[in-house]
Amino acid sequence: MNNPQLINTNYSKIVQDGLWNNNPALAQVLGLCPLLAVSGTVINALALGVATMLVLVASNLAVSLLRQYIPNEIRIPIFVLIIAGFVTIVEHLMHAYLYNLYTVLGIFVPLIVTNCAIIGRAEGFASKHSPMPSIIDGISMGLGFTGVLVALGVMREILAQGTLFADANIMLGQWAKTVTIFEDYDGFLLAALPPGAFIGLGLLLALKNVIDQNMRKRQSSRLTVEVLDSNAVAVISQPD
Amino acid sequence: MEFSQLQHYSPHTPAQASVSRVMLNVMLALIPGIVVYIFFFGWGVLVNIVLASIFALLAESLVLAVRKRPVFTTLLDGSALLTGILLALALPSHSAWWVIAVGVFFAIIIAKQLYGGLGLNPFNPAMTGYVVLLISFPLEMTRWSPPLELAEQSLSLIEAFRYSFSGYLPSSMDLDMISLATPLDIARERVDMGMKLSAVRSEFSIFSLLSGKGTEWINVAFLAGGIWLLFIRLIDWRIPASLLLAMGAAAGVFWLINPEQYLSPLFHLFAGATMLGAFFIATDPVTASTTPVGRLIFGAGCGLLIYIIRSGGGYPDGVAFAVLLMNLSAPLIDHFSQPRITGYKKPEEPKP
């Protein structure tokens, strides 16, 4: 038991990284093609986010289990094969059980294979860690990605159509209803078009930077106070 | 080092005009066009200008306050005001207040201030705002007013303000009286339906000698304002000249091929927003090319694109899209058109 990683894995750091600090969409800025193309409505965003997360967890687990047996020189093609396998499974499952959703998302389900956030985690995390941390990493990275997708979907759908959860029934079943935010809304087409996605993502990135800056400022001010306090204690206790 | 301690060698250039002076002169040069616009099309455009100016100043002060920049001194440079006025001139008169507000806020906040403010924006703010409106609210953006000459009734200044805020029209009027397709639209639509141009021009009373009733005179007035700007050397001749030439040449070639299908070069030069675009929008010093050769290419590109978008596109006019596309290519044009440094000779090609 010489491997320190096995003994004390910092799970809360993995979760924090995936959800915020190293968020695939907002910090690594990976996987933007599906992010921008499918965030037109909340339901599309949620569906693609969940599908990506399933693939990410499964591929992280598989890569982590096989990491001792994958030759370093050809690891990337092997990762791609593993990911493609899981994407095919997810695609067939959607085709079988959520056919309407499958037709709406179209090419973007198979395209999960090319989502560099997934291969990035396989290369950067799963191939160096044991299965349990890899699964946690997959879940938190997947949730982080889904969160950004849904946030963008909410912004774009409200602005473009004045609704939320339009066509929710194709994913969640008959009970789901569309929520109308603005009655008699003419629609702001720009939000539904590609520029709306780029502007929305830009605003989200800016928001994350502002929040990070404020947190850093607060942390550094707290640190100086602590340092001052400990100095004070040192000064007081010096006469001994 | 103190300024007086520096050694000064010739050649000396006179001090450049300040930003606020440039903006003021451009606004003065716009006045003839605006007056003619009001004369031929009624008060709508004035309402546009007033509302857009107020929104522009509001948006600019809002962002400056958030960015902790000096609000009052920056507002005085007049660039936000000019953006508002140019956008107001591009919109159909009698636009609703919220259309103007969305356009101006987008132009000032997203197209200008988010890129760092005046001097750092890659795209012409007014045209960005206009294009956002054009693709977001196609219905509102095609309600062009008919010239007063053709309208049975028109709105007074007060009624125009009230209409912009509430959409309320006097009981004797309906929406059809204040909206009509533009000459460019009618010509393209009818020719697509298979009509001959000469027949179109005699059938619709909106056509006139040069282009459309009223439109031609607005273009003449903007041309006059532009020539004054050239005369006081505020803008360079290269961009407007190459723009008008390229556009005229492209229109001329097709017109010579088939004058019954393609509008004449004169029509294109005096229709739509040609003169406003050539002298006031494409010449924006921030977003246009800056090298002499680059300006010629920039203007010619704008001219060709305007003609292509007008003839082949589905939009009322092509100026905004053409200028934005060329804004996009301006850094590349500048990179490849740097003037030769004085005294530098091309190295001779080695003989084979």
Listing DSSP states for A123-158 in one string gives HHTGGGS-HHHHHHHHHHHHHHHHHHHHHHHHHHHH
**pLDDT over 70 (residue B235):** yes
The per-residue pLDDT for B17 is 66
Q: Are A60 and A119 in contact (CB under 8 A)?
A: no
Contacts of residue A199 in chain B, CB cutoff 8 Å?
110
Contacts of residue A194 in chain B, CB cutoff 8 Å?
none
Across the interface, whether the CB atoms of B138 and A190 are under 8 A apart is answered: no
Across the interface, whether the CB atoms of A193 and B138 are under 8 A apart is answered: no
Tell me the C-alpha distance between B108 and A3, whole Å: 57
Q: What is the DSSP letter of A113?
A: G
Centroid of chain to Cα B274? 8
Output the CA–CA distances (angstroms, integers) from residue B197 to B193, B247, B308, in the order listed. Answer: 11, 19, 18
Output the CA–CA distances (angstroms, integers) from residue A15 to A12, A19, A116, B192, B202, in the order listed. Answer: 5, 6, 19, 61, 73
The per-residue pLDDT for B14 is 63
Q: Per the structure block, which two tokens stand in for A46?
A: 């949620």
Of B135, B137, B138, the CB nearest to A193: B135
Higher pLDDT, A28 or B25: B25
Contacts of residue B143 in chain A, CB cutoff 8 Å?
none
Percent of chain B with pLDDT over 90: 54
Mean of pLDDT values over A164-177: 76
Query: Is residue A137 in some structural domain?
Result: yes
**pLDDT over 90 (residue A231):** no
To the nearest 10 degrees (0 to 180), the angle between helices B97-105 and B157-166 is 70
CA nearest to A189 within chain B: B136
Give the closest residue to A86 by CA, choosing from A47, A49, A112, A48.
Answer: A112
Across the interface, whether the CB atoms of A189 and B110 are under 8 A apart is answered: no
Of A186, A190, A199, the CB nearest to B135: A190
Q: What is the pLDDT of residues A142-153, one digit of tens each?
A: 999 999 999 999
CA nearest to A160 within chain B: B136
Peptide bond before residue B147 is cis, with ω within 30 degrees of 0: no
The per-residue pLDDT for A1 is 40
Query: φ, ψ for residue B138 (rounded to 5)?
Result: -60, -35
**pLDDT over 80 (residue B295):** yes
The per-residue pLDDT for A45 is 92
* Burial of residue A84, with CB atoms counted within 10 A of its CB: 0-12 exposed, 13-18 middle, 19 or more buried: middle
Query: φ, ψ for residue A141 (rounded to 5)?
Result: -60, -45
3-state secondary structure of A180: strand
Tell me the C-alpha distance between A211 and A26, whole Å: 12
Q: What is the pLDDT of residues A26-67, one digit of tens each?
A: 888 888 888 888 888 899 899 999 999 999 999 999 999 999
3-state secondary structure of A3: coil
Across the interface, whether the CB atoms of B136 and A199 are under 8 A apart is answered: no
Centroid of chain to Cα A103? 23
Q: Are B237 and B230 in contact (CB under 8 A)?
A: yes
Q: Which residues pair with B212 in a beta bridge?
A: B207
Query: Is residue A120 in some structural domain?
Result: yes
Across the interface, whether the CB atoms of B137 and A193 are under 8 A apart is answered: no
Query: Is residue A144 in some structural domain?
Result: yes
Q: Per the structure block, which two tokens stand in for A122?
A: 């396989």
Q: What is the pLDDT of residues A65-118, one digit of tens each?
A: 999 999 999 999 999 999 999 999 999 999 999 888 888 888 888 988 888 889
Tell me the C-alpha distance between B56 and B106, whole Å: 10
Chain A interface includes B167 (CB < 8 A)? no
Q: Which of B66, B110, B136, B321 to mutate to test the interface with A (most CBs of A within 10 A)?
A: B136
Spell out the domain ranges in chain B: 19-335
Residue A67 parent element (H or E):
none
CATH 1.10.3430 fits B19-335, yes or no: yes
3-state secondary structure chain B: CCHHHCCCCCCCCCCCCCHHHHHHHHHHHHHHHHHHHHHHHCCHHHHHHHHHHHHHHHHHHHHHHHCCCCHHHHHCCCHHHHHHHHHHHHCCCCCCHHHHHHHHHHHHHHHHHHHCCCCCCCCCHHHHHHHHHHHHCCCHHHCCCCCCCCCCCCCCHHHHHHHHHHCCCCCCCCHHHHCCCCHHHHHHHHHHCCCCHHHHHHHCCCECCCCECCHHHHHHHHHHHHHHHHHCCCCCCHHHHHHHHHHHHHHHHHHHHCCCCCCCHHHHHCCCCHHHHHHHHCCCCCCCCCCHHHHHHHHHHHHHHHHHHHHHCCCCCCHHHHHHHHHHHHHHHHHHCCCCCCCCCCCCCCCC
Our CA-based measurement puts residue A159 at a distance from the nearest CA of chain B, in whole angstroms, of: 11
Q: What is the pLDDT of residues B300-349, one digit of tens each?
A: 999 999 999 998 888 878 899 999 999 999 999 999 998 888 888 777 77
CA nearest to A206 within chain B: B114
The chain-wide mean pLDDT, for chain B, equals 88
Our CA-based measurement puts residue B132 at a distance from the nearest CA of chain A, in whole angstroms, of: 7
Centroid of chain to Cα B20? 20
Contacts of residue B110 in chain A, CB cutoff 8 Å?
199
Which of left, alpha, beta for B47 (phi over 0: left; psi -120 to 50: alpha)? alpha
Q: Which of A159, A161, A190 to mutate to test the interface with B (most CBs of B within 10 A)?
A: A190
Q: Are B82 and B26 in contact (CB under 8 A)?
A: yes
Q: What is the pLDDT of residues B173-212, one digit of tens each?
A: 777 777 788 888 888 888 888 888 888 888 888 888 888 8
Mean of pLDDT values over A203-232: 81
CB atoms within 10 A of CB A103: 11
Q: How many CA atoms lie within 13 A of B258 on its CB side?
A: 6
Tell me the C-alpha distance between B85 and B51, whole Å: 9
Contacts of residue A189 in chain B, CB cutoff 8 Å?
135-138
Across the interface, whether the CB atoms of A199 and B135 are under 8 A apart is answered: no
Q: Are B48 and B93 in contact (CB under 8 A)?
A: yes
Across the interface, whether the CB atoms of A186 and B110 are under 8 A apart is answered: no
Higher pLDDT, B221 or A28: B221
Contacts of residue A186 in chain B, CB cutoff 8 Å?
137, 139
Tell me the C-alpha distance between B332 and B330, whole Å: 5
Chain B interface includes A207 (CB < 8 A)? no
Tell me the residue range of the domain where A157 lies: 11-219
Chain A interface includes B137 (CB < 8 A)? yes
Which of left, alpha, beta for B91 (phi over 0: left; psi -120 to 50: alpha)? beta
Chain A interface includes B138 (CB < 8 A)? yes
Our CA-based measurement puts residue A77 at a distance from the nearest CA of chain B, in whole angstroms, of: 38
Query: Is residue A50 in some structural domain?
Result: yes
Tell me the C-alpha distance between A58 and A41, whole Å: 26
3-state secondary structure of A179: strand
CB atoms within 10 A of CB B272: 25
- Could you tell me the pTM of the whole model? 0.84
Q: Per the structure block, which two tokens stand in for A129?
A: 């860690």
Q: What spatial distance separates the first Cα and last Cα of chain B, rounded to whole Å?
A: 54
Across the interface, whether the CB atoms of A190 and B136 are under 8 A apart is answered: yes
Query: Is residue A236 in some structural domain?
Result: no
**Strand-strand pairing, A163-164 and A179-180:** antiparallel
Our CA-based measurement puts residue A213 at a distance from the nearest CA of chain B, in whole angstroms, of: 15
Q: Hey, which of A23-32, B104-113, B157-166 has the most confident mean pLDDT?
A: B104-113
Chain A interface includes B136 (CB < 8 A)? yes
Q: Which of A189, A198, A209 to mutate to test the interface with B (most CBs of B within 10 A)?
A: A189
Q: Are A109 and A102 in contact (CB under 8 A)?
A: yes
Listing DSSP states for A22-43 in one string gives T-TTTTS---HHHHHHSTTSHH
Across the A:B interface, residue pairs with CB atoms under 8 Å apart total 14
Q: What is the DSSP letter of A19?
A: I
Our CA-based measurement puts residue A179 at a distance from the nearest CA of chain B, in whole angstroms, of: 22
Chain B interface includes A186 (CB < 8 A)? yes
Mean of pLDDT values over B149-166: 81
Chain B interface includes A189 (CB < 8 A)? yes
The per-residue pLDDT for A240 is 47
Q: Which residues pair with A97 in a beta bridge?
A: none
Mean of pLDDT values over B130-152: 86
Q: Are B135 and B83 in contact (CB under 8 A)?
A: no
| Tally of domains within chain A | 1
Question: Which amino acid would we find at residue B1?
Answer: M
Across the interface, whether the CB atoms of A190 and B110 are under 8 A apart is answered: no
Across the interface, whether the CB atoms of B110 and A199 are under 8 A apart is answered: yes
